[in-house]
Amino acid sequence: MKKIVLIAFMAVFVSFELVAQDVFDKVDTLPAAFKVERRAVIRKTGELVAGLEEIRSVVAPLGEGDPIKWAQQMPGVTTGADGGSAMYVRGSNAGANLCTVDGIPIYGFSHILGLTTVLPSDVIGEVSLVRSGFTGSGNNFTASHLRIKTKASVEKNVKINVSANNFLAGAGLEAKLGRKMYLIVNGRVSPLAYEFNEIQRLSKQFDAFRTFDAKVWDVFAKTGYVFDARNNVSATFLYSRDLYDFNMTGSKNSMGWSNIAGALAFSNTSGRVHTDMALTYTGFNTLQNMKPISSDYTKKSLNLNSGLQELAFSTDMHYVPENHLDFEWGVKARVAWFKSGGCRYQLFKTRL
């Protein structure tokens, strides 16, 4: 009997203890988190900038885009004939546009009558189209400035590029020369003459051309030395040539143009001030030769040649303060030699 009473007492006690326990609601409170972000984008009015990937994504006759085709698709820019290199910016004429490569003016910047530029796309670092807010370094070109900057460094120790299409075939090399020096070389040549001869054998559509020859090629080379994160020096060289010879019924014709350009440049960045110093040279020549045969079997020869050479030294400084303003100033000295046009006319009598 005692055991039963003890067990009953313990059960009542346990039950009482369970009921007597306090019940608390546990609330886990996290402090509110606030994140504030301020993003500022500095963009010059009237200037559009694109990288290599955006340039290559443009649809072009040669399969990959180039700076000219990219610029022709921008707002406010109209073109001439399809596939040409002419640009009409803000209603101006095609001769009011400036094209520079690493600060070097290039006056004959197209290959194969405007299908592409004389600069291989593999060496391009950045392209910008300036349509307003020109600085004095742009000379007197008032419509647009197509500014092309080539690569200022290489990522791999050795990189080889090979490209080919119906109009141009080329190869390039990028290499690191030690820790601070780099080398970029690229060359292209056109197989257009060989292709035309093969097509002429298969079709009589081009029988009016007795002969056709196209010598189209370009060479680009650049080397640089990076002293540190603030100072570097570079040397750039570019040569391009277009020469077309065709013999039509009763006449022989030749036409072409060529560019030779080079630059020595030094760049320094000190805080918010960026300084560029450059010594540049550019030469541009055009030629046209015509030898028609008249009905009296009189042979005539007409040669037209023109060209220019330009040597310039410039110092440009760029300052961007904290209030998002933009200041540019500089000094430029330039000397130019012009060959406005040389003409030679010859007349020969042919006896039967």
**How far apart, in whole angstroms, are the C-alpha atoms of residue 271 and residue 287?**
49
Encode pLDDT of 327-348 as tens digits. Answer: 888 898 999 988 876 666 665 5
**How far apart, in whole angstroms, are the C-alpha atoms of residue 265 and residue 310?**
16
Who wins on pLDDT, 109 or 139?
Answer: 109
Those residues whose C-beta lies under 8 Å from the C-beta of residue 106, and which sit 6 or more positions away, are: 99, 100, 118, 119, 238, 259, 261, 282, 284
**How far apart, in whole angstroms, are the C-alpha atoms of residue 180 and residue 152?**
11
Select from 257, 237, 242, 112 the least CA-distant residue to 186. Answer: 237
Encode pLDDT of 92-102 as tens digits. Answer: 777 788 889 99
Select from 101, 108, 109, 98 the least CA-distant residue to 141. Answer: 98
Is residue 254 within 8 A of residue 286, CB to CB? The reply is no
**How far apart, in whole angstroms, are the C-alpha atoms of residue 49 and residue 59?**
18
- Mean pLDDT on 179-185: 92
**Reported confidence tier of residue 175, pLDDT bands at 50, 70, 90:** very high
Select from 326, 330, 276, 327 the least CA-distant residue to 103. Answer: 276
Who wins on pLDDT, 159 or 200?
Answer: 159
**How far apart, in whole angstroms, are the C-alpha atoms of residue 146 and residue 129?**
5
Who wins on pLDDT, 220 or 179?
Answer: 220
**How far apart, in whole angstroms, are the C-alpha atoms of residue 118 and residue 240?**
6
Lowest-confidence region among 29-38, 239-248, 336-345: 29-38
- Is it the case that residue 187 has pLDDT exceeding 70? yes
Percentage of the chain modeled with pLDDT above 70: 76
pLDDT of residue 169: 86
Is residue 151 within 8 A of residue 67, CB to CB? The reply is no
**How far apart, in whole angstroms, are the C-alpha atoms of residue 154 and residue 166?**
29
Percentage of the chain modeled with pLDDT above 90: 19
The DSSP result for 97-136, as a single string, is: EEEEETTEE-SS-EEGGGTEESS-GGGEEEEEEE-S---G
Which residue carries 């370094």 as its tokens? Answer: 137
Select from 114, 121, 75 the least CA-distant residue to 94. Answer: 114
Is residue 174 within 8 A of residue 153, CB to CB? The reply is no
Select from 247, 346, 349, 352 the least CA-distant residue to 298. Answer: 349
Q: What is the mean pLDDT of the chain?
A: 79
Is residue 218 within 8 A of residue 255, CB to CB? The reply is no
- Is it the case that residue 254 has pLDDT exceeding 60? yes
Q: Which DSSP letter does residue 293 get?
A: B
pLDDT of residue 18: 44
**How far apart, in whole angstroms, are the C-alpha atoms of residue 70 and residue 31?**
51
